[in-house]
Amino acid sequence: MSYDFDQLIDRRQNNSYKWDIKENELPMWVADMDFATAPAITEALKSRLEENAFGYNTVPEEFFASFINWWQDYHQVSMQKSGLMFCTGVVPAISSIVRKVTEVNDNVVILTPVYNIFFNSILNNQRQVLASPMSYHEGNYQIDFEDLEKKLALKETTLFIFCNPHNPIGKVWSQADLEKIGALCVKHQVLLLSDEIHCDLTHEGYQYRSFIDISSAISQQLIVCLAPTKAFNLAGLQTSAIYVENPALFEKVNRGINTDEVAEPNTFAIQAAIAAFTNGRPWLEALNSYLSQNRKILTDFFKKRFPEIRLIESQATYLAWLDCSALTKDTADFCQFLRETTGLILSEGDIFGGNGQQFVRWNYACPVSRLQDGLGRFEKGTREFLL
Ligand SMILES: Cc1ncc(COP(=O)(O)O)c(C=O)c1O
């Protein structure tokens, strides 16, 4: 079956957060794709809609089985059903976990630059963000393990929130990195939350390793967030799972998400996840191949037109992380200028912390004609910015 990723969908009509903008603007910021979803998912939702009854829901066995089978078949990772629980999203899960497993004023460690909402989940709950900035050299980010250990060793540090594959730098962490992180968290008795939401968007030749598989020691203090929502673009359906192998920790997290009322699914959350993980693979493979073409267009564009801007080589996600330090020391002004002069909306890197201030994040998950439009606007706006 072939899928039409070139189709332009008018999302201004459907309350899209991404497209709630002015008529002339073009959004390439938030991690939300502009493609029609997988036909297998649409079919499942249609058939659920036809049942015509939308009361409270339970979470059926098939929901958990679809996660277990997908991780086994696609990622060669084994999960036990007893460790899985439903949650209405990864961010609701993270915020609830922060509230339940840490105390007010505790330190929560993150590796910066990183997904900006991690900051909110920590700060909104009156915990302290303890950033361990990654080292950056010649376009390559590495974990500064010395700094990380210092921060994990502090007695006020109780949780480490980790992103794998990493948003925004697009890195798939190696087995060696995961083992080192796991060992440090065990040594300093820090709980580890691994957000693996981008794991199905790895580029050709890269396979992500889940923390679930790393060691039996870390599995006792590990919480993993999993979801079909990034790869299948289902964020509006609010569906995810949390995996916790340690029964005592499972109970704690489960109590937390129930107290926070984020443990019950809407009707479509269940059907969409099951359809994605049961019948969505051919669509996902076609999507990843379309995204790789877009990435090539973007890479060629920067090489030819703006060689001074470095596109960080990524291994996963549909987010390009652009080092604009040759243009500006603060991309907030640059992004605002691009928006005002051309309508193109990109994410300014500062929101991700670390050295993000000199970077821009570009979401290229859209039909190629729309990407070309974005590149044209970028070229025009940047030339004017540099005048
Ligand atoms: C790393 C990461 N975690 C979580 C989310 C959002 O998850 P959810 O929509 O399930 O709350 C995103 C969205 O971009 C993300 O990049």
Torsions phi, psi for 191 (to 5 deg): -70, 145
Regarding the beta carbon of 227 and ligand 1, being less than 6 Å apart is answered yes
Residue 199 confidence (pLDDT): 98
Regarding the beta carbon of 240 and ligand 1, being less than 6 Å apart is answered yes
Residue 14 confidence (pLDDT): 87
247's enclosing H/E stretch is helix 247-259
User: Helix or strand or coil: residue 329?
Assistant: coil
User: Helix or strand or coil: residue 181?
Assistant: helix
How far, in Å, CA of 187 to CA of 181, rounded?
10
Regarding the beta carbon of 195 and ligand 1, being less than 6 Å apart is answered yes
- 108 forms beta bridges with 129, 159
Regarding the beta carbon of 338 and ligand 1, being less than 6 Å apart is answered no
How far, in Å, CA of 25 to CA of 16, rounded?
14
- C-alpha torsion angle, residues 8, 13, 18, 21 (rounded to 10): 110
Write the CB contacts of 309 (distance below 8 Å, at least 6 apart in sequence).
302, 322, 323, 324, 326, 327
Regarding the beta carbon of 269 and ligand 1, being less than 6 Å apart is answered no
**Distance from the alpha carbon of residue 153 to the mean position of ligand 1, in angstroms:** 28
Q: Which of 32, 115, 234, 257 for mutating ligand 1's site (highest number of atoms within 8 Å of CB)?
A: 115
Render 250-311 in DSSP notation, one character per residue. HHHHHHHHHHTT-S---HHHHHHHHHHHHH-HHHHHHHHHHHHHHHHHHHHHHHHH-TTSEE
Render 121-160 in DSSP notation, one character per residue. HHHTTTPEEEEEEPEEETTEEE--HHHHHHHHHSTTEEEE
| Strands 191-195 and 240-243, bridge-based pairing | unpaired
> Nearest to residue 358, comparing CAs of 331, 376, 320, 326?
331
How far, in Å, CA of 60 to CA of 198, rounded?
24
What is the block-wise mean pLDDT of the chain (387 residues), using blocks of 10 residues? 93 93 97 97 98 96 98 97 98 98 98 98 98 97 98 98 98 98 98 98 97 94 98 98 98 98 97 98 98 98 97 98 96 98 98 98 98 98 95
Tokens at 91, concatenated: 């961010």
Whole-Å CA distances, 223 to 21, 163, 270: 37, 12, 21
Looking at ligand 1, which atom is closest to the CA of residue 92?
Answer: 11
Regarding the beta carbon of 315 and ligand 1, being less than 6 Å apart is answered no
> Nearest to residue 320, comparing CAs of 378, 369, 236, 385?
378
Regarding the beta carbon of 93 and ligand 1, being less than 6 Å apart is answered no
How far, in Å, CA of 312 to CA of 325, rounded?
12
Pick left, alpha or beta for residue 76 (phi over 0 → left; psi -120 to 50 → alpha; otherwise beta): left
Q: How many CB atoms lie within 10 A of CB 241?
A: 25
**Distance from the alpha carbon of residue 226 to the mean position of ligand 1, in angstroms:** 10
Taking only Cα atoms into account, the Rg of the chain, rounded to an integer number of angstroms, comes to 21
Tell the residue nearest (CA) to atom 7 of ligand 1. 90
How far, in Å, CA of 53 to CA of 19, rounded?
31
Beta strands in the chain (DSSP E): 26-27, 84-87, 107-112, 128-133, 135-137, 140-142, 157-163, 191-195, 222-226, 240-243, 310-311, 319-323, 344-345, 347-348, 359-363
**For tokens 């007695």, what's the residue?**
155
Residue 387 confidence (pLDDT): 87
**Distance from the alpha carbon of residue 328 to the mean position of ligand 1, in angstroms:** 28
Regarding the beta carbon of 229 and ligand 1, being less than 6 Å apart is answered yes
Regarding the beta carbon of 33 and ligand 1, being less than 6 Å apart is answered no
Q: Which of 197, 226, 237 for mutating ligand 1's site (highest number of atoms within 8 Å of CB)?
A: 197
Buried b (16+ CB within 10 A) or exposed e, 43-79: ebbeebeeeeeeeeeebeeebbebbbebbeeebebeb
Tell the residue nearest (CA) to atom 14 of ligand 1. 31
pTM, full prediction: 0.98
How far, in Å, CA of 4 to CA of 319, rounded?
21
Regarding the beta carbon of 273 and ligand 1, being less than 6 Å apart is answered no
**Distance from the alpha carbon of residue 16 to the mean position of ligand 1, in angstroms:** 16
Regarding the beta carbon of 115 and ligand 1, being less than 6 Å apart is answered yes
pLDDT digits 0-9 by tens, 57-66 = 999 999 999 9
Looking at ligand 1, which atom is closest to the CA of residue 91?
Answer: 11
User: Helix or strand or coil: residue 62?
Assistant: helix
